[in-house]
Amino acid sequence: MIRYQIGSRHPASHYFDVSIRIERPDPAGQELRLPNWIPGSYMIRDFARNLLDLRAEASADGSSGELAIHQVDKSNWRVVPCQGELILSYRVYANDLSVRAAHLDHSHGYYNGSSVFLEVIGQSDQACEVKIERPQGEACSDWRVATSLKRKQAEAYDFGLYEALDYDDLIDHPVELGDFTQFAFEACGVPHDIILSGRFECDETRLAADLKTICEHHIRFFGEPAPMDYYQFQVLVVGDGYGGLEHRASTSLIAKRDSLPKPGQLEIDDDYRDFLGLCSHEYFHTWNVKRIKPEVYRPYDLQNEVYTDLLWAFEGITSYYDDLALLRCGLIDAPSYLELFAQTLTRVQRGRGRLRQSAAESSFNTWTKFYKQDENAANSIVSYYAKGCLIAACIDLKLRALSDGASSLDDVMRRLWQDYLRDGRGVEPDAIQKIVSQIAGVDLSDFLQQMIYGTGELPLLDLLTDSGIDVLQRVAKNTLEKGGKMAVGALPDVDLGGALKDDDGGLMLLRVAEEGALQNAGLSAGDVIIAIDGLKLNLAKLESRLLRAAVGDVWQVHAFRRDELNQFDVTLRAAQKNTFVLSLSEEEGGKMSWPGI
């Protein structure tokens, strides 16, 4: 038994105080390590950089003494051999307000085990317990505990003793501490909790009802019973933020205040739709990636990057079903769903990166590219989320077309789930392609190979048209619009090839499109445009000026690069029709054969 204890002597300083008692340490000298990354977020984060004041002592026959610790590398330590129980103590600096690490101050506490609990090497498969202590100080006197960790000796939502099956289990149940709002619902007989932390207004009854609908949909999609006997949505509400991380029996989310349903709000506005889509996404992961997972994740090597071509499936298929579930549940209608899907299509088609990097390459290089995006990302990479979602749609539409609607991607996902339940093995690199062909009854390996490993255009537009969806391609109204909706007002004939934002004294170039007008003239991301043809302008003025411009016009642009003023001659180019709007075909009588509702 490994006994962890976590508390804080001074929460405002962001320090968690952690100790570990190891009954039977390795007689050759106990080794310990901290993960360098957290499953679901594929980047080396070196959590050990926040670990301080590591000390070790032995306790045998009432005697104790401090032991020497040798640091092996950035995240590994070895304690000299000792008799009896080994006790370690350390502090963890927790000031990362994200779902990936740990955060602590006077307002709340949050941690993933991967940021705070050292792994006892050689005993990782042993059961462990965690004593979660109330942080010290008046500010924490009304705090409670929210986690999907199993309670051992603790009242519900209270401090006390929790337990985990092994280290892998210990670090897959994030913990929220604070004076949060908690409410509950049941989905297919499984108790679910919603934990809201932060400052917010929320129609709790409405949110619980909508999440129940989504959760029951996903449970029934894969088939009852659900694979977990309890589930928790942990939501940190902030002024502006968005993100989520999946766990086996919970998810941690960051949501902006405006995305929660207000009391009395009847409609699902864009922000609430995004939030429900995020909840749906993370919940679908309960099956797709937390249980059905690449074989290279069994077990995770949390010290090093783990490479797989398959994130297009684990994130892309999940992205496909997150919004689709909202439609199938009746929470949103077909036009609303088609708007979201068209936005994903627009996002992929606007970047040249899709012509350079396949979905498989995007998956493989997530560690250094997708998770380390710079201003050139749209030119150099494609998102395995967005393109994976489009590939999932292609597979779904193809299977429906070949079977006259009798089979679909749903069957592929259920087969993957059944295979997992049967033998618990990980997904091999080509397993999904094989299952798709089996379900199609014909060999689709070329069709799949080109979509997953190729950089050519997907066959999506034809598949959509054949499924009763009208596809409209138009130019973007401005650099901010995401697509999916009919344009209001006139559209420009020309495009600058870049994304800009209003900035003090001018327009800041966020990124430039490769071979776009701005880049061709020599402008770069980071430049601040202060005048065009001698006149100062903001985004709104730029937009109206673009409406009056013609292809081939030359604009004299003055821009600062750092503190140096430069002049560029920008020759305007024809705007590209890379914004998509999808609608139900009139010819089909407004009836959609996809996505199967």
Binding residues (CB under 5 A) for Zn ion: these are 315
Write out 233-301 in H/E/C secondary structure: EEEEEECCCEEEEECCCEEEEEEEHHHCCCCCCCCCCHHHHHHHHHHHHHHHCCCECCCECEHHHCCCC
Identity of the residue, 131 or 387, whose beta carbon is nearer to Zn ion in the bound complex: 387
Closest approach, Cβ 279 to Zn ion, in A, equals 12
Closest approach, Cβ 589 to Zn ion, in A, equals 36
d(CA 152, CA 158): 11
What are the Cα distances from residue 328, in Å, to 17, 67, 324, 340, 584?
46, 60, 6, 14, 16
Identity of the residue, 320 or 555, whose beta carbon is nearer to Zn ion in the bound complex: 320
Closest approach, Cβ 39 to Zn ion, in A, equals 11
Closest approach, Cβ 283 to Zn ion, in A, equals 10
Pairing of strands 494-495, 573-574: antiparallel
Identity of the residue, 310 or 508, whose beta carbon is nearer to Zn ion in the bound complex: 310
Closest approach, Cβ 318 to Zn ion, in A, equals 5
Identity of the residue, 176 or 315, whose beta carbon is nearer to Zn ion in the bound complex: 315
Q: In 3D, which of 230, 233, 240 has the Cα closest to residue 197?
A: 233
Closest approach, Cβ 246 to Zn ion, in A, equals 6
Task: Judge whether 26 and 85 are in contact, CB under 8 Å.
Answer: no
List, in order, residues 6 or more apart from 202 with CB less than 8 Å away.
181, 196, 260, 261, 262, 263
What are the Cα distances from residue 459, in Å, to 205, 231, 397, 425, 517?
43, 38, 10, 32, 29
d(CA 315, CA 451): 16
Identity of the residue, 315 or 411, whose beta carbon is nearer to Zn ion in the bound complex: 315
Identity of the residue, 159 or 312, whose beta carbon is nearer to Zn ion in the bound complex: 312
Q: Which residue is nearest to Zn ion (CB)?
A: 315
Identity of the residue, 246 or 339, whose beta carbon is nearer to Zn ion in the bound complex: 246
Closest approach, Cβ 40 to Zn ion, in A, equals 7
Identity of the residue, 172 or 315, whose beta carbon is nearer to Zn ion in the bound complex: 315
Identity of the residue, 315 or 396, whose beta carbon is nearer to Zn ion in the bound complex: 315
Q: Is 370 helix (H, G, I), strand (E, B) or coil?
A: helix
d(CA 451, CA 358): 8
The tally of CA atoms less than 13 A away on the side-chain side of residue 392 is 30
Q: In 3D, which of 296, 248, 215 has the Cα closest to residue 113?
A: 248
Residue 73 sits at φ, ψ, to 5 deg, of -155, -165
State the DSSP string of 563-591: TEEEEEEEEPEEPP--EEEEEE-TTTTT-
Q: Which helix (H) or strand (E) holds 132?
A: strand 128-132
